[in-house]
Amino acid sequence: MKKGTLYLFSLAVVFAFLASASTTALAAEFYKGKTIRFVVGYSPGGGYDTYTRAAARHIGRFIPGNPTPIVQNMTGGGSLIAANYIYNRAKPDGLTVGIWNGGLILQSALGERKARFKGDKFGWIGAPVKGLPACAIMGFTGLKTLEDVLKSGKRLKMGATRAGSTTDDLPKILNKTMGTNFDVISGYRGTATIRIAMQKREIDGACWGWESMGVTARAMLDAKGDDKLIPYIIQGKDNSPEVRDLPQVTSVIKGADNLSTFNAWMATYQFQRPISSPPGTPKSRLNILRKAYAAVMKDPTFLAEAKKSKLIINYVSGPQIEKYVSQILNTPAKAKEALSFLVRKKKKK
Amino acid sequence: MEYVDAFYVGLINILPFSAQGQSSFLFMLLGVAIGFVVGILPGLGGATTLALMLPFIYKMDPTTAFAFLLGSNAVTATTGDITSVLFGVPGEGITAATIVDGHPMAKKGEAGRALGAALMSSLVGAVFGAFALALAIPLVKPLVLSIGAPEFFMLAIVGITFVASLSGSNITKGLTAGAFGLALSTIGLDPIESVPRFTLEPILGEGGGLFLWDGVALVAVTVGLFAIPEIVELAVMEGSIAKEKVGKLGGVMQGVKDTFIHWKLVLRCSAIGAYIGLLPGLGGGPAQWISYAHAVQSSPDKERFGKGAIEGVLGPGAANNSKEGGALVPTIAFGVPGSVSMAILLGAFIIQGIVPGPDLLDPGKYLPLTFSFVWIIVVSNIITVAVCFLFLNQIAKITFVKGTYLIPFLLLLVYLGGFAVKNSFGDMAMVILFGALGWLMVRFDWQRPPLLIGLVLGNIAESNLFIASKIYGMSWLLRPGVIIIILIIAGALLYPLYQTWRERQKKMAAGTEGAQSASPQTTEEITTSSRFFHSLFALFFVVVFAYVMREIFFGFGADEDRASLFPLIIGVPGLALASWTFGKDVFTTTRVVTGGEEPAVGDVEIEPVVARKRMISIISWVFGFFFSIWFLGFIWSSVVATFLYLKVGSRENWFMSIFLTALSWLFFGGLFDRMLHLPFPEGQLFIWLGY
């Protein structure tokens, strides 16, 4: 009898193995000669598009069956159109994946009804980078450090694009949680025009991602005296000399409520430009895509190209993203209250 | 001296006399070839193409890489003019203004002349822009930094004042159309607080409302306004695009000569283009329209415009090319891209490990490369224009091809052009919507350019007015730059008055002789239908502005004072103007009728019954193609709809029907789907069948 059980058991193991091997093999069969569509929620040439194209060029090599990746742009509504498309319309066959703004998950948690999806239902594949939101101030203000900024007593003009962007949200959140005295000047077309406005001394500073600031504002960071752009606070770790020793927002913020408010906002920056598959994508194919994406993020050719393009790579895995997403969806009520200004709600009459 | 050296080295590095030069030259040719095709085809944007080309530069040296990218980018505006002139369909979003007078010229059989003028002025513009870039290099910082939000706002106002001169014979209609364009620009999320405005959610549902968050796309509006009415007219008049044969096939050389006859205008428009290009944040739309407006405004005889005035081709032709050189200035000097294409070029700088800014202006570092940019723009445009001239007479012949052969291609391209804006079906719907509006505007004698001026400048005006008043309070009105611009506006408004006055003086002196030669050519006047419909169309604008006011007070504006401020500034005069126009149309009925002016329909007389029949037929086809693309998808439509149109619609013989259908299939299925992977939506039929 004992022998028989063992026999049965090993048979089961073999079957299980065969079954799992065959699903992989079937999936390999599946991807052969197919194309994988990367649907990007922003227009060509932007950060989302650049990161996606950089990875898409290489991912085919790491998927059994070597499918052809193509990148398509579906712009609109700050990538909301792409997110809704991936959730509601795209076929969950592992051939269509989406790249859209993870901040929308927070928006949906705060009650934005235009976000017609549940963040935890997507199949999260991975993200190339973590966001490093930072604030910087111009040399001509005479201020250099966070302490200077907090004590200056002046109302500092911070340039911003429009509500819903890092440039607009972060200074407002710092006003709420750290008592800074920022006057947010919105309406600029992009961080490029904000940079010009700082050089014109129309505004005193601005907040946006260090991963972009460190590259696009390079000349200003290297400038001297009044024309120098000085970062003074950041969230997240980076080894560039300008920001290595800066205070972290989470370590200077005071009060548990303030901290949880900031953390709720910050969670969406832990996975920037993430790739997701439609809900219901077969687990086996999702796993293939996850593995392939992880392999690209470690691939020397990809990393060399990324380095040349000054794209910071800071891989976040699919399961990690799942954790952040559930953290966002479980934001405490008080933090939600404090962040409610991020979502526009119809006032009740 | 160092500058001169760098200038010389910059040239040598892109000419095929050294190893470096050969590689650059070769890739520049490749880039030019790509840009050539992209410019001609509507629906393929210059920026998207650049993004696709970007990965290829990893292994190139900087000069070669930029020869490749910039060579491509520099010629799209030039060849885009060709499509605009020939078919009335903008080849690129930035070449739409060339249509207004270029296409009527093609219809008069002067396609060659219009193309000659467009290409020559493009070349002059490109060279001007390139040298403006070279000259601007030492002064670039003060040039860009002197323009703050208040000045930006005032520049937008300069553009808006041009509306008056673009209004043709009826100023109130023009101003109403301009206000309508400004109102259109406020659709979508407001540029400061992201309040959704006029997104028509109750009508369009949530998805449609979300689509309008991004506002109304300029390309879709332009394509609709201009291309659809042209297609309808082509079908109604039958025959070919060109209605008359002009001796020596259109006279390409005449167009070249025109460029030099009007050299002052060409240079002024080149300067306008270069300056607008230089200002980051204005984008591609304004340069062409403002220079078109300038061409009209500076002409003593405004009546000719819109009917094939050569100046209307030369102005935008020069400006949309000189803009490129100008746009490079902020990109090079500050790493601040002036347009989407420039943003992608900025990516190329980064890949090449070059930090835009002082390094590119330093003779010891990258200054020769910067001067290579200048030369790349010059040389690639010379090559393009030279190649075009070789074939121009052949290209112009396409206007003598039977119209029915072209119509299916044009319709598919027009919808593709709309679709490709955001790869969305919504913009195709915009094309058909604005197509209908454009057609009605032509019928009821409303000018279309004011609408576009309003649309391209509205957002710039709004956000800069907000920034200016938030930062400076009211004191921004006293900034020297603002005062200078106010003086320019005053001058620009007064000069035409002075000019007409002088003309009148001259004519008085010359007696009746002058008066005769100045009599307007009315050959292109479209039949004015009954006054009832005229008034009805004016009423449409009253309703639109009434809706704007309703939204401001009872819709989104009820809770949002700031977001509704700018719409209010537009809505009040808009409503007044529209009501005025409506009132005038209603009450002047008798006068027009007693005027007894019998309208002439082109040169070919078509019986009204036949014309009506053809019109109903083509309008059905316009909708039919739209429906077919929705139902069957693009690829199948390129086969089914094309064949049905040719065989059933216009009763062509079997051979031509099958041949052209096959061509259409190759073109749309092969080029756009297989090679370029445009994400065509699946046809609804296949979704229902569960494919």
How far is residue B150 from each of residues A94, A138, B183, B605, measured CA to CA in Å? 51, 21, 21, 54
Which pLDDT value is given to residue B261?
92
Please answer yes or no on whether B350 and A309 come within 8 Å at the CB atom.
yes
Which residue does chain B place closest to A35, by CA atoms? B677
Dist CA B17 CA B141 (whole Å):
35
- Which residues on neighbouring strands pair with residue A156, listed in sequence order? A182
Which pLDDT value is given to residue B519?
43
Please answer yes or no on whether A162 and B191 come within 8 Å at the CB atom.
yes
* B37 Cα to chain A: minimum distance (Å): 19
Q: Does B208 touch chain A (CB under 8 A)?
A: no
Asked if B67 and B31 touch (Cβ cutoff 8 Å), the reply is: yes
Q: DSSP secondary-structure letter at B527?
A: P
Q: Does B336 touch chain A (CB under 8 A)?
A: yes
Which pLDDT value is given to residue B691?
65
Which pLDDT value is given to residue B419?
85
Please answer yes or no on whether B280 and A193 come within 8 Å at the CB atom.
yes
Which pLDDT value is given to residue A19?
58
ipTM score of complex? 0.74
Which pLDDT value is given to residue B511?
62
Tally of CB atoms within 10 A around A331: 21
Dist CA B650 CA B639 (whole Å):
16
Of the partner residues A187, A189, A215, the one whose CB lies closest to the CB of residue B350: A215
* A187 Cα to chain B: minimum distance (Å): 5
Which pLDDT value is given to residue B271?
92
Please answer yes or no on whether A44 and B47 come within 8 Å at the CB atom.
yes
Q: Does A308 touch chain B (CB under 8 A)?
A: yes
Please answer yes or no on whether A187 and B192 come within 8 Å at the CB atom.
yes
Asked if A114 and B210 touch (Cβ cutoff 8 Å), the reply is: yes
∠B568-B157-B134 over CA atoms, to 5°?
Answer: 145
Dist CA A229 CA A227 (whole Å):
7
Which pLDDT value is given to residue A10?
65
Q: Is B589 helix (H, G, I), strand (E, B) or coil?
A: helix
List of chain B residues with pLDDT < 70: 1, 43, 244-250, 281, 283-284, 338, 496, 511-530, 588-605, 676, 691
Dist CA B372 CA B374 (whole Å):
5
- Which residues on neighbouring strands pair with residue B452, listed in sequence order? none
Which residues in chain A have Cβ-Cβ distances shorter than 8 Å to B58?
305, 308
Q: Does A43 touch chain B (CB under 8 A)?
A: yes
Please answer yes or no on whether A202 and B193 come within 8 Å at the CB atom.
no
Which residue does chain B place closest to A197, by CA atoms? B148
Q: Is B307 helix (H, G, I), strand (E, B) or coil?
A: coil
∠B211-B174-B600 over CA atoms, to 5°?
Answer: 110
Q: Does A157 touch chain B (CB under 8 A)?
A: yes
Of the partner residues B210, B334, B471, the one whose CB lies closest to the CB of residue A81: B210
Stretch 255-294 of chain B: residues touching chain A, C-beta under 8 Å: 280-281
Q: Does A249 touch chain B (CB under 8 A)?
A: no
Stretch 167-206 of chain B: residues touching chain A, C-beta under 8 Å: 189-196, 206
Dist CA B592 CA B520 (whole Å):
18
How far is residue B352 from each of residues A56, A192, B349, measured CA to CA in Å? 21, 20, 5
Residue burial B132-169, b: 16+ Cβ < 10 Å; e: rest? bbbebbeebeebbbebbbbbbbbbbbbbbbbbbbbbbe
First CA to last CA across chain B, in angstroms?
A: 69
Q: Does B40 touch chain A (CB under 8 A)?
A: no
* A295 Cα to chain B: minimum distance (Å): 20
Please answer yes or no on whether B470 and A185 come within 8 Å at the CB atom.
yes
Please answer yes or no on whether A45 and B50 come within 8 Å at the CB atom.
yes
Nearest one of B93, B94, B35, B23 to B63, comparing CA atoms = B23
- Lookup result for tokens 């966002």: A328
Dist CA B500 CA B664 (whole Å):
50
Nearest one of B280, B331, B366 to B70, comparing CA atoms = B331
Which residues in chain B have Cβ-Cβ distances shorter than 8 Å to A49?
51
pLDDT tens digit sequence for A164-215: 788 999 999 999 999 899 999 988 888 888 888 999 899 999 999 998 888 8
A133-138/B188-189 β-pairing: unpaired
Nearest one of B179, B80, B238, B235 to B450, comparing CA atoms = B179
Stretch 457-496 of chain B: residues touching chain A, C-beta under 8 Å: 462-464, 466-467, 470-471
Which residues in chain B have Cβ-Cβ distances shorter than 8 Å to A200?
145, 148
Which residues in chain A have Cβ-Cβ distances shorter than 8 Å to B211?
76-77, 81
List of chain A residues with pLDDT < 70: 1-28, 45, 344-349
Nearest one of A313, A309, A75 to B54, comparing CA atoms = A309
Please answer yes or no on whether B467 and A202 come within 8 Å at the CB atom.
yes
Of the partner residues B194, B355, B423, the one whose CB lies closest to the CB of residue A218: B355
* B481 Cα to chain A: minimum distance (Å): 14
* B636 Cα to chain A: minimum distance (Å): 20
* A317 Cα to chain B: minimum distance (Å): 25
The one-letter amino acid code at B279 reads: L
Please answer yes or no on whether A81 and B281 come within 8 Å at the CB atom.
no
State both tokens at A50.
Answer: 């650049």
State both tokens at B496.
Answer: 């035409």
Which pLDDT value is given to residue B299?
84
Q: Does B346 touch chain A (CB under 8 A)?
A: yes
Please answer yes or no on whether B336 and A215 come within 8 Å at the CB atom.
no
Q: Does A47 touch chain B (CB under 8 A)?
A: no
Which residues in chain B have Cβ-Cβ distances shorter than 8 Å to A192?
280, 335-337, 343
Of the partner residues A39, A157, A346, the one whose CB lies closest to the CB of residue B471: A157
State both tokens at B215.
Answer: 């506002």
For A40, the enclosing helix (H) or strand (E) is strand A35-40
Which pLDDT value is given to residue B240?
81
Dist CA B283 CA B269 (whole Å):
17
Please answer yes or no on whether A202 and B471 come within 8 Å at the CB atom.
yes
Q: Does A212 touch chain B (CB under 8 A)?
A: no
Size of interface A-B (CB pairs under 8 A): 151
